[in-house]
Structure 1
Amino acid sequence: MLRGLSIKNFALIEQLQVSFDSGLITITGETGAGKSLLLGALGLLLGKRADLSSVKDSSAKCFIEGVFDIAKYDLQPFFEEEELDYEEETIIRREILPSGKSRAFINDTPVTLQSLSGLGEKLIDIHSQHQTLEVTSSDFQFKVLDALAGADREIESYKRGLRLLKQKEKEVKVLIESQEEFNKEYDYNTFLLKELEEGKLKPGELPELEERYEQLNNIEEIQEYLSQSVSLVNAEEIGLSDQLNAIKANLSKIETYSGTLKELSDRIQSIYIELDDVNTSLQDEMEKLEADPEQLEELSQRLQLIHNLQVKHAVSTIEELIVIKDELHEKVSKTESLSDDIDKLKKEITTIQSQLDEVAVKIHDKRNKALPKLTNELEDILKALGMPNASFNASLELQEKYLSNGKESLEFLFSANKGGSFGELKKVASGGELSRIMIAIKSILSRYAQLPTIIFDEIDTGVSGEVAHKMADLMMDMSKNLQVFSITHLPQIAANGQSHYKVFKEDINDATVTQLKLLNEEERIKEIAEMIGGKDISDSALTHARSLLFN
């Protein structure tokens, strides 16, 4: 609900500050007095783009601020999503700087126009004869029907299911695309994997293979030099063993004469022991050596296999080949498992579709039950609004396709004349007829849903007499559930307002400015009398005005 509006330096409005109550608020004034300026200022407040040309004094800042009571609107989720401080009394501010730059604030937090517009559409709903095409859209018609059908729980369940269905369908599409891509490489990857698996590669085996190959490939040379080494150690008299033994005997005879000699004797003893151990190892190595042409060939083939794999995969170690093998295994396995994953997802999709179908039927049943009620109420209201022959022919038909709010199409046909043919609203209804249909729909909606503040901008144009009274009564009934503004030229509607404001122009300091004034009782009588009979107010006009106000 709009509690207060402040405007400064906007078009012909120099400075204006006004408070509003709940209920029906009527705004009157002569043509050109500036009623459209109020709507223009509200439009900026609700997210429309700013234009420096609308600023009264381009050297000063333009300022528009609205105070809203949003306690009943359940807007906490919106504020959380936008990361804004939630206040039951929320202040929206719009500024246009002399530079032309525009700024917007919600509860003193800077916001984008997108955020401002998102909140604005939840706070104020503006209707004029030129803005009634919404009533011809299928989405709006479903919104009205669903308000009467009471299918909110089912529709929310359906929407959750539809989101899940779209998610699963997207996952299947991605998997199928991956499968097609993997299938192109599957045969080649399988061949490469088989080749690597047959290689039975082991980490760290290459150095061992190369060493064993070198031994077998050079066995004769190794045997020759080992034999010569053993001979050098063991030859009589000239062998290393005998010579060291002789040195050891000589030193043992003199080692008692000094510590140094003793140390030398011990060192020779150690060398002798080490040489004896080396001699044993040389002989052992010689005994182990044996030519093995078959093993040599096997080693050669094994090394060649590893080398070929390294060249093919452009790597230098067995460990890298093993990594490639594991990656290929994962690709091949994934390709082979994709079919299972796709089948599993398709089964999930079938289950979700089945559940959605069940919910869609429940929604359809509730809508079908509410549809006659909606058309009957509309026809009754329109008869009171001067359209006695208005008639609707509405039907629902279940579709195969999953739509955003169910699985059905709504055909909402209209005829304004008795015996006339039915047609789509946007094709057969005039602007005045659409205006009355819209106010009738909003009247019905106000009884079943919490609506934002509604502003009717001269939506009563072309209406008079008893129909004007009926329209005034309709607005009055709506105002019991929500705040209603009516910018009107009809005295019947003006008199029904619980608050009555007048827009007028006056000259101040050689400048024309637009003002907005809350009328007291006597001022209302005079204003309504002028609306009835013109500037020259007659006694009968005053009497009529009083009867409208007090009856």
Structure 2
Amino acid sequence: MLTNLSIKNYALIDHLNVKFTNGFTVITGETGAGKSILLGGLALVLGKRADLSSLKDKESKCIVEGEFDIAKYELKSFFDNNDLDYERKTIVRREILPSGKSRAFINDTPVTLDVLSKLGGRLVDVHSQHQTMQLGESDFQLKTIDALANNEKVLVQYAAKLEQYQTSTKELEQLLEFQSNAIKEHEYNSFLLEELNSAPLKEGIIETLEEEYEQLNNVEVIMEQLSQVQQLLNDEQIGVINLLTELKQISHKLGHYGQHYSELDERVNSVFIELDDISNEFIALNDQVDTNPEMLEEVSAKLQLLHTLLKKHNAHDVSELLGIKKELDDKVQATENVESDIEAKRKELLELEAELNTIASKLSKNRNKILPKLKKQLEGTLAELGMASATFKIEIHPSKEFKATGKDDLTFLLSSNKGSAYGELKKVASGGELSRIMLAIKSILANYENLPTLMFDEIDTGVSGEISNKMGDIMQDMSKTMQIFSITHLPQVAAKGAHHFKVYKEEELMGTQTKMKPLSKQERITELAEMLGGKAITESALAHAKELLN
């Protein structure tokens, strides 16, 4: 419930601080005194968009702060989900800066306007004649029926399953679209993949083939050079091996004459061993080298294919070609597997559809079960509010499609007068009738839901006498379990309040100010007398006011 409201620098309010308690609070005041300003300030902490023109002093910031006791609202999960500190006494603050920027805080933590608005909707429910138009909306009507039918948990199950169903439906549409496009590209992609599969793609392959090509293409030059190497190394007259053998023999003999000679002998021996090994490798290479025009042609063809593929796919190296090959392979595989994926997704959708139908059927059953009770309670309450001939025709019909709240189409019709035709609420009910219907619905909901603070903004406009008295009784009765505010012009309603505040204007040196104060019992009598007979208060008006209060 709202326990304190502080408004600074807003419209005609310089500084206002009001404390509230539980029960039924009435707010009265002359037309133009500033009751709408009070509501406007409250709307800011409930998440309404700010307007720079609402600043009283354009050089200072506007601050509106509301304190709420939220112990019974079950909002802990909301605070956890939005990373906010949960406090039983929660403070919501809104600031409008002279620059036009707006800031919002919940327990001193900055929040977005969206988060503030969601919390505000669960703290205070403001109803005016304009907002009674939602009575004609199917969503509001179903919400009312679901509250009475105790459908909250079933609706949560339905919403979760509907989200799965919608996700799977979207995935199926994507698969079908993919299949449609892929069939056109499949043949071309398969051709490209086969072309890449036929190429010897591996890291470093081009360098290896180019080296092999150079060897095969210059085999005669290589053979000639190898022949010369053989002659230089192994010729009997001038061969380096033979000469080194003689050197080795000499150094070996010298090795016996001291360490220095011995070390030189070892070095000569090492050179001999190394050169002998080199000679053997050249001999082996010479044995391997042979003209092979077929192999040369094969290597040349591979190189040509690789360079053609690089150019065709605009790739810089074989590594990029391997990546392109992987992408093509994935596309071809996906196209070949998409039919089974589509079949599996359709099967999944059928299962989800069956589950959704089961839950939707349960919702419908619960709703239909409660309709006679809702109809009876509505008509009974409206009879007390001066609509004795009002009757409702409330019917639920199965829908072919899954909606946000099930598979039901709702018909919620009213006949205001005996013998008149049934019609939609917004078409056949007057503003005053809509107000009374809204009050009746809220009074019924109060028995089934833990409603937030309710603020009725002149919802009693257009009624008078005994009807207004009964409206006050209903609000007074609702206030036994929740906090109720009523901004009213009717003394019969104002007299029912446990607490009475007056909004008034006062002219000061700095200009006109809107103020608000709680009324004592004697002040209430005077206020009610003015509401009954005007500024010129008569004894009969005072007597009537006392009678109303008693």
Q: TM-score, normalised by structure 2?
A: 0.88
Distance 1:206 1:59 in 2: 75
Match runs of 1:70-469 below 5 Å: 70-97=70-97, 102-206=102-206, 209-231=209-231, 235-237=235-237, 240=240, 280-315=280-315, 318-469=318-469
Deviation, 1:483, is 0.9
Q: Answer with 18-27 or 509-518: which moved more.
A: 509-518
Deviation, 1:526, is 3.2
Cα distance per residue 1:463-495 (max 9 Å; x no partner)? 223222221211111111211111223222222
Cα distance per residue 1:198-241 (max 9 Å; x no partner)? 33545555555555555554444444444454455555545555
Q: Determine helix, strand or coil for the equivalent of 1:462.
A: coil
Q: Answer with 189-198 or 408-417: which moved more.
A: 189-198
Q: Contact 2:91–2:107 (CA<8 Å) still a contact in 1?
A: yes
Deviation, 1:319, is 4.8
Deviation, 1:85, is 2.5
Distance 1:59 1:273 in 2: 99
Corresponding letter in the other structure for 2:444: I
Counterpart residue number, 1:17: 17
Distance 1:505 1:17 in 2: 15
Distance 2:303 2:160 in 1: 61
Deviation, 1:295, is 4.1
Distance 1:96 1:317 in 2: 61
Q: Determine helix, strand or coil for the equivalent of 2:446.
A: helix
Corresponding letter in the other structure for 2:477: D
Q: Contact 2:399–2:408 (CA<8 Å) still a contact in 1?
A: yes
Deviation, 1:432, is 0.9
Corresponding letter in the other structure for 2:144: V
Q: Determine helix, strand or coil for the equivalent of 1:72.
A: coil
Q: Answer with 122-131 or 303-312: which moved more.
A: 303-312
Deviation, 1:38, is 2.1
Distance 1:83 1:332 in 2: 46
Deviation, 1:11, is 3.8
Deviation, 1:373, is 1.4
Q: Contact 2:381–2:440 (CA<8 Å) still a contact in 1?
A: yes
Q: TM-score, normalised by structure 1?
A: 0.88
Gaps of 5+ in 2: none
Deviation, 1:350, is 1.7
Corresponding letter in the other structure for 1:20: F
Cα 1:458–1:270 shift into 2, 3 Å? closer
Distance 2:392 2:163 in 1: 34
Distance 1:80 1:498 in 2: 36
Distance 1:60 1:275 in 2: 97
Counterpart residue number, 1:44: 44
Distance 1:172 1:182 in 2: 15
Q: Determine helix, strand or coil for the equivalent of 1:74.
A: coil
Q: Contact 2:200–2:302 (CA<8 Å) still a contact in 1?
A: no
Cα 1:256–1:448 shift into 2, 3 Å? closer
Cα 1:458–1:205 shift into 2, 3 Å? closer
Corresponding letter in the other structure for 1:452: P
Cα 1:420–1:281 shift into 2, 3 Å? closer
Distance 1:158 1:86 in 2: 29
Cα distance per residue 1:145-192 (max 9 Å; x no partner)? 111111111111000111111222222333334444444432222112
Distance 2:292 2:10 in 1: 105
Deviation, 1:82, is 3.7
TM-align CA RMSD? 3.2
Q: Determine helix, strand or coil for the equivalent of 2:84.
A: coil
Cα 1:131–1:305 shift into 2, 3 Å? closer
Cα distance per residue 1:360-407 (max 9 Å; x no partner)? 011011111112211221111111100111111111111111111111
Cα distance per residue 1:320-373 (max 9 Å; x no partner)? 544433332223223322333233222222211111011001101111111221
Distance 2:510 2:264 in 1: 128
Cα 1:298–1:430 shift into 2, 3 Å? same
Distance 2:42 2:274 in 1: 106
Gaps of 5+ in 1: none
Q: Determine helix, strand or coil for the equivalent of 1:132.
A: helix
Deviation, 1:30, is 3.1
Percent identical among aligned pairs is 53
Deviation, 1:496, is 1.3
Cα 1:395–1:265 shift into 2, 3 Å? closer
Distance 2:255 2:462 in 1: 141
Distance 2:329 2:271 in 1: 57
Deviation, 1:508, is 4.6
Deviation, 1:65, is 2.6
Distance 1:284 1:364 in 2: 92
Cα 1:363–1:266 shift into 2, 3 Å? closer
Q: Determine helix, strand or coil for the equivalent of 2:131.
A: coil
Q: Answer with 348-357 or 38-47: which moved more.
A: 38-47
Corresponding letter in the other structure for 2:154: E
Distance 1:127 1:304 in 2: 81
Deviation, 1:445, is 1.0
Corresponding letter in the other structure for 2:480: K
Cα 1:118–1:260 shift into 2, 3 Å? closer
Cα 1:358–1:224 shift into 2, 3 Å? same
Cα distance per residue 1:70-94 (max 9 Å; x no partner)? 2122223333344332222122333
Q: Determine helix, strand or coil for the equivalent of 1:73.
A: coil
Q: Answer with 228-237 or 453-462: which moved more.
A: 228-237
Corresponding letter in the other structure for 2:377: E
Counterpart residue number, 1:3: 3
Deviation, 1:52, is 4.9
Cα 1:296–1:430 shift into 2, 3 Å? same
Deviation, 1:244, is 5.2
Cα 1:490–1:185 shift into 2, 3 Å? same
Corresponding letter in the other structure for 2:474: L
Distance 2:509 2:242 in 1: 135
Deviation, 1:141, is 0.6
Corresponding letter in the other structure for 1:66: G
Q: Determine helix, strand or coil for the equivalent of 1:5.
A: strand
Distance 1:13 1:259 in 2: 113
Counterpart residue number, 2:520: 520
Distance 1:208 1:99 in 2: 71
Cα 1:169–1:268 shift into 2, 3 Å? same
Q: Answer with 38-47 or 379-388: which moved more.
A: 38-47
Distance 2:322 2:170 in 1: 35
Corresponding letter in the other structure for 1:185: E
Distance 1:60 1:254 in 2: 109
